[in-house]
Amino acid sequence: MLLYINGNLSFFKHSLLTHSDKMAASTTIAFALIACTLCFMSGTSLARLTPNFYSKTCPQVFEVVGSVVRAAVSRERRMGASLLRLHFHDCFVNGCDASILLDDTPTFRGEKTAAPNNNSVRGFDVIDMIKSNVERVCPGVVSCADILAITALKSVVALGGPTWEVKLGRRDSKTASFSAANGGAIPSPQSSLTNLINTFRAVGLSAHDMVALSGAHTIGQARCTSFRAHVYNDSNIDSLFAILRQSNCPRSPGSGDNNLAPLDISTPTRFDNHYYKNLIMHQGLLHSDQQLLSGGFTGSLVERYSVNPMSFRVDFAAAMVNMGDIRPLTGANGEIRKNCRVVNS
Ligand code: HEM
Ligand SMILES: *[C@@H]1O[C@H](CO)[C@@H](O)[C@H](O)[C@H]1NC(C)=O
Ligand SMILES: *[C@@H]1O[C@H](CO)[C@@H](O)[C@H](O)[C@H]1NC(C)=O
């Protein structure tokens, strides 16, 4: 450190500064270097995520994650949807920090049983497989939070969606928040358009991001309990579509709650723009989905994406990068978990 400062000060020998000016300047530089070194060491630097974070330490991570994701998706196409959703539910609760992956224990309540997650989120065994394969090639290097981000990308690509430059360098939390996961950080399917916009704004995402990210509902399934009220009680729904969805979702709560229906009626295992075409035809499965058509700005985006698949792909990719940037732990904060389900001891 001292050598570095002395080396950097050599140019003063040729300057016309007075001795005291030189002392002042060298003191300033020394303080700046010390401050920067300390902030780097403590992790409070403005560390940014970057696409090449593992280019020296684990360049194979993309291929290792991709091959497990492709195998899982070829066994069951829906798994691609479930894995994408894990990254979303992770990022919206105290940032993209893998908090959603922590298992409950007798002394710790994690996020897995919070209302939006309980009996709904899935894919944890695939994440375990990915983590153990990554640990085999680069032990102790890649965080579970980054694994979720790369897994989301590889899942979308495996189902025919766009690619993007995924940013990395997140670290894993040592805690989780049942109350935040349970208490509105993750939007409910009963949300109004205003609720949706506000929930996304709360994590720094725009209404534009919200409409583009909602296109994730071009893949995957929802349970009767998530769409019952919409198909029985709402009026902004195609009536034949409502009858079709009622047929596998009994009216009374408690019966058939876990019966599944595809979020995209036409191509539920292809990542395309049919989600938006459905909304135009009032065939959105969730109350919240159909809300996007009720606002001028969001409605015009729905129309644009429904006729312009390339515009959707570009905007979805950009919005995924924005979502992946939500409050990451970086530097010396958090840890690199050895097992994504438990904090390191
Ligand atoms: C705009 C607000 C959103 C709301 C209200 C919402 C709500 C829901 C609900 C209720 C389900 C069905 C859960 C169940 O019944 O088990 C679901 C499924 C899903 N969501 Fe969302 N979601 C939203 C945004 C997103 C975003 C931003 C993504 C990803 C970028 C996403 C990805 C998915 C996927 C892929 C599924 C299907 C999962 C599977 O089949 O396992 N959602 N969502
Ligand atoms: C989660 O679902 C299970 C099974 O339906 C239920 O027994 C449990 O009470 C639920 N947990 C919470 C916290 O709601
Ligand atoms: C439909 O609305 C009525 C009146 O508000 C309510 O009593 C009923 O529980 C709702 N049904 C569903 C399936 O949400």
Cβ–ligand 3 distance for 229 under 6 Å, the answer: yes
pLDDT bucket at 269, cuts 50 / 70 / 90: very high
The three-point CA angle 311-312-318 to 5° equals 95
pLDDT at 30 over 80: no
The finding on whether 246 has its CB within 6 A of some atom of ligand 3 is no
**Residue 225 counted as an annotated binding residue:** no
User: Can you read off the two tokens belonging to residue 140?
Assistant: 């102790």
Please tell me whether residues 161 and 204 are part of one structural domain. no
Q: Look at residues 154, 182, 210 and tell me which one is the last residue of a structural domain.
A: 182
Return the SS3 of 199. Answer: helix
What is the rounded CA–CA span in Å between residue 90 and residue 341?
13
Is the pLDDT at 7 greater than 50? The verdict is: no
Is 339 part of any domain? no
Domain assignment of residue 51, yes or no: no
Consult the annotation and say whether 217 binds a ligand.
yes
- The span from the CA of 138 to the CA of 57, in Å, is 7
pLDDT digits (tens, 9 = 90+) for 217-253: 999 999 999 999 999 999 999 999 999 999 999 999 9
Going from the Cα of 230 to the center of ligand 3, the distance in angstroms, rounded, reads: 10
Residue 55 maps to a domain: no
Cite the DSSP H helix spans in 166-282. Answer: 178-182, 193-201, 207-214, 224-233, 239-246, 274-280
Does residue 171 have its Cβ closer than 6 Å to ligand 3?
no
Which atom of ligand 1 lies nearest, measured to the CA of 223?
15
218 labelled binding-site residue:
yes
Number of structural domains (the chain) is 3
Q: Hey, whose CA ends up nearest to atom 14 of ligand 3? A: 229
Band of pLDDT at residue 295, cut at 50, 70 and 90: confident
pTM, entire model: 0.89
Residue 225 beta carbon below 6 angstroms from any ligand 3 atom: no
Same domain, 129 and 205: no
Is the alpha carbon torsion for 117, 206, 294, 237 positive or negative?
A: negative
pLDDT score at 32: 45
- The answer to the question of whether 21 is labelled as a binding residue is no
325 assigned ligand-binding residue:
no
User: Is there a single domain that holds both residue 202 and residue 316?
Assistant: yes
Domain that holds residue 21: 2-42
d(CA 76, CA 269) in angstroms, rounded, equals 10
C-alpha of residue 217 to centroid of ligand 1, in Å: 6
DSSP secondary structure, 288-305, as one string: HHHHGGGSHHHHHHHHHH
Q: How far out from the chain centre does Cα 325 lie?
A: 8
Distance 239 CA to ligand 2 centre (A): 33
CATH number of the domain within which 265 lies: 1.10.420.10
Catalytic residues, which ones? 89
Q: For ligand 3, atom 3, name the residue with the nearest CA.
A: 233
Closest C-alpha to ligand 1, atom 2: 187
Which residue's CA is the nearest one to ligand 2's atom 9? 113
Q: Is residue 166 in a domain?
A: yes
Mean pLDDT value across the chain:
90
Say what percent of the chain tops pLDDT 90. Answer: 86
Q: Is 286 in the pocket of ligand 1 (CB under 6 A)?
A: yes
pLDDT band at 46 (very low <50, low <70, confident <90, very high): low
Which atom of ligand 3 is closest in space to residue 228's alpha carbon? Answer: 13
Q: How far, in Å, are 150, 222, 271, 333 from residue 160 at the CA level?
A: 16, 21, 5, 36
pLDDT, tens digit (0-9, with 9 covering 90-100), for 48-76: 999 999 999 999 999 999 999 999 999 99
On whether both 177 and 148 belong to a single domain, the answer is yes
